[in-house]
Chains A and B, each alone.
Chain A
Amino acid sequence: MQQVTSETFDQNARAAMQDPVLHSALRHLAENFGERRKNAIESVDDWEGLRDRARATKDEVLLHLDTYLYQFAANAADAGAVVHWARDAPEACAIVLNLIKDRGATNVVKSKSMVTEEIHLNKALEAEGIEPVETDLGEWIIQLAGETPSHIVVPAIHKTKTQIAELFIEKVGIERTDDVDVLTGSARRILRERFARAQVGISGVNFGIAETGTILILENEGNVRLTTSLPKTHIAVMGIEKILPRIADLDVFLKLLPRSGTGQNLTAYQSLITGVKRDANDEGPDEVHIVLLDNGRSRMLAHPVTRQSLACIRCGACLNACPVYQQVGGHAYGSVYPGPIGAVIMPQLIGYSKARQLPFASSLCGACREVCPVKIDIPELLLHLRAEITDGSPTTEKRFRKLGESLAFRLYGFLWSDARKYRLGMKAGRLFQKLIIRNGKIKKQGNVISRLMPPLANWTARRDASPLAPKSFREHWHDELRTK
Chain B
Amino acid sequence: MQEANARESILASIRQNLAAGRAFDDVHKEAKINDESTRSTSLSRDELINNFKRNLDSVGGHCHIVSEMSEAAEAVFKIIGSLSATNIAISDSSIVAAITNGLSINVVVNADPEYLFASDVGVTSAQYAIAETGTIVLESDTERHRLTSLVPPVHICILQAGNIRQTLGEILEIVQSDLSRTVTFITGASRTSDIELTLAIGVHGPRELHVVVIDDHRP
Residues of A within 8 A of B (CB): 25, 28-29, 32-33, 52-53, 55-57, 59-60, 63, 65-66, 69-70, 73, 79, 84-87, 91, 95, 135-138, 141, 154-157, 159-161, 164, 180-181, 183-185, 187-188, 191-192, 195-196, 212, 214, 220-223, 225-226, 229-230, 240, 247-248, 250-251, 254-255, 262, 265-278, 282-284, 292, 294, 298-305, 307
Beta-carbon contact of B203 and A184 below 8 Å: yes
In the complex, A290→B36 CA distance in Å?
A: 31
- A32 to B202, alpha carbons, bound, how many Å? 21
Which of the residues A59, A154, A222 comes within 8 Å of B197, measured between beta carbons? Answer: A154
Q: How long is the Cα–Cα vector from A185 to B15 in the complex, in angstroms?
A: 49
Residues of B within 8 A of A271 (CB): 182-185
Cα A278 to Cα B176 with chains together (Å): 16
- A275–B3 CA distance with the chains assembled, in angstroms: 19
State which of B7, B176, B179 has its C-beta within 8 Å of the C-beta of A85. Answer: B7
| Cα-based distance from A192 to B172 in the complex (angstroms) | 32
Q: Is the interface of A mostly helix, strand, loop or mixed?
A: helix
With contacts A69-B11, A299-B17 taken as known, whether A85 is within 8 angstroms of B6 at the C-beta atoms is yes
Chain A residues, CB < 8 A from B146: 225, 229, 283-284
Instruction: Please report which residues of chain B, range 168-203, place their CB below 8 angstroms from some CB of chain A when the two chains form the complex.
Output: 168-169, 172-173, 175-176, 179-198, 200, 202-203
Q: What are 9 A-B pairs with beta-carbon distances under 8 A?
A: A95-B3, A137-B195, A137-B203, A188-B204, A191-B204, A192-B204, A212-B176, A221-B191, A266-B133
Given that A69-B11, A184-B192, A283-B146 are contacting pairs, would A247 and B179 also be in contact in the complex, using a CB cutoff of 8 Å?
yes
> Quick one: closest A residue to B4, CB to CB?
A85
Given contacts A56-B32, A250-B172, A304-B24, contact A268 B196 (CB under 8 A): no
In the complex, are the beta carbons of B140 and A254 less than 8 A apart?
A: no
Given A157-B197, A229-B150, A248-B176, A60 and B10 touching (CB < 8 A)? no
Report B-chain residues with C-beta under 8 Å of the C-beta of A275.
181
A284: chain B residues within 8 A (beta carbon): 140, 146, 181-182
Q: Are A292 and B10 in contact (CB under 8 A)?
A: yes
Q: Measured between alpha carbons, how far is A339 from B110 in the docked complex, in Å?
A: 46
A154-B193, A188-B202, A302-B17 known; A52 and B31 CB under 8 Å?
yes
Q: Contacts A180-B196, A184-B203, A273-B181 known; A248 to B21 CB distance under 8 Å?
A: no
Contact A248 B141 (CB under 8 A): no
Specify which chain B residues have a CB less than 8 angstroms from the CB of A278 in the assembled complex.
141, 181
A181: which B residues are within 8 A, CB to CB?
Answer: 200
- B133 neighbours in A (Cβ, 8 Å): 265-266
Q: Which residues of A contact B24 (CB under 8 A)?
A: 303-305
Of chain B, the residue at the smallest CB distance from A278 is B181
Give Cα A223–Cα B203 distance, bound, in whole angstroms: 8
Chain A residues with CB under 8 A of B144? 282-283
* A248 lies within 8 A of B194 (CB): no
Say yes or no for B18: interface residue by CB 8 A criterion: yes
Closest to B55 in A: A265
Supplied contacts A251-B167, A303-B20, 19 more A-B pairs, CB within 8 Å? A138-B194, A154-B194, A180-B195, A183-B195, A230-B147, A247-B176, A248-B173, A251-B168, A266-B185, A267-B187, A268-B191, A272-B179, A276-B181, A278-B181, A283-B140, A283-B144, A300-B17, A301-B17, A302-B20
